[in-house]
Amino acid sequence: MSARDDIIAAVREGLKRGQGGALPRRAPAEIRAEAAALLAGLDEIRPSLVTPDPVEAFIQKCANPALGVTLDRVAGWAALPQAVTGYLDRHELPHRLAVSGDPRLSALGPGIETHAPCAPDEAAAISIASWGVAETGSVVIHSAPDQPILNAMLPRHWLVVVEAAKILPFLDDYATFASLRPRNAVLITGSSGTTDIEGYFVRGAHGPGFVHVLLIG
């Protein structure tokens, strides 16, 4: 037998008898029951949101300076181009964005030049989040043909659209939707930064230095 065969045989034996042969192999139904018990009484162990309204809690969480996030409330999709233009103007950025293939971004208007894909040195890009999480101020991006993950990783300024109806109260609430098994799901909480370099805070260390949430509705 090869070393590979020895390792696989040992793994198989461990699955049958447990570590050292002291524990019996557990039935799938038993494991499922134990997992369900962990989810019982969630309200007793969940932290309290800063306000009962998940949308307001999400807004207040994003306002935490530690996250490095800015946020604009946008009345509806029709007002999105004006909100995007306003952000670009405030930061003296050109009216040029890398966009995903989501058709809802095709109406940004003739005043904003859009293109794909997102370049490594892109000044600004925009995405549409699948969900927001009030507990942590996070946004969730699902990889899809019309949702390239790199749009959330490469630009200096990342604009992300979140619908108020898609704000979940707690992080574990997202588990229901994670079971849909997207090819890749990324939870992003705030801008990228590090203090590893001589104790100085550096923005954009391994992702966007600026994250701006456009909250629709």
pTM of the model: 0.78
Hey, CA dihedral for 14, 16, 19, 25, is it positive or negative? positive
Q: Give the confidence band of 162 by pLDDT, cuts at 50, 70, 90.
A: very high
pLDDT at residue number 23: 63
Q: What percent of the chain has pLDDT over 70?
A: 91
Nearest-angstrom CA–CA distance, 151 and 208: 10
CATH superfamily of 48-216: NagB/RpiA/CoA transferase-like (3.40.50.10420)
Here the tokens at position 113 are 């030049």
pLDDT digits (tens, 9 = 90+) for 39-90: 777 777 788 888 999 999 999 999 988 888 999 999 999 999 999 999 999 9
Highest mean pLDDT among 14-18, 53-57, 185-189: 53-57
Q: Indicate the SS3 state at residue 171.
A: helix
Q: Residue 15: pLDDT above 80?
A: no
According to DSSP H, which parts of 91-174 are helical? none
Q: What percent of the chain has pLDDT over 90?
A: 48
Q: Residue 192: pLDDT above 60?
A: yes
Mean pLDDT of 112-130: 93
Nearest-angstrom CA–CA distance, 135 and 73: 19
Q: How many alpha carbons lie under 13 Å from residue 193 in its C-beta half-sphere?
A: 17
Residues in the chain: 217
Q: Residue 179: pLDDT above 70?
A: no
Task: Write down the number of H helices and E strands in the chain.
Answer: 6, 12
Instruction: Provide CB contacts within 8 A for 164, sequence distance 6+.
Output: 55, 215, 216, 217
Q: Name the DSSP letter for residue 101.
A: S
From residue 102, give the alpha-carbon distance in Å to each of 69, 142, 165. Answer: 23, 12, 18
Q: Residue 18: pLDDT above 60?
A: no
Rounded to 5 degrees, what are φ and ψ at 71? -145, 135
Sorted by where each begins, the domain ranges of the chain are 3-40, 48-216
Nearest-angstrom CA–CA distance, 156 and 180: 31
Q: Name the DSSP letter for residue 50.
A: S
Mean pLDDT of 120-148: 93
Q: Residue 197: pLDDT above 70?
A: no
Task: Provide the pairing of β-strand 113-115 with 124-128.
Answer: unpaired
Nearest-angstrom CA–CA distance, 146 and 58: 26
Q: Residue 95: pLDDT above 70?
A: yes
Mean confidence (pLDDT) of the chain: 87
pLDDT at residue number 17: 60
Q: Residue 169: pLDDT above 90?
A: yes
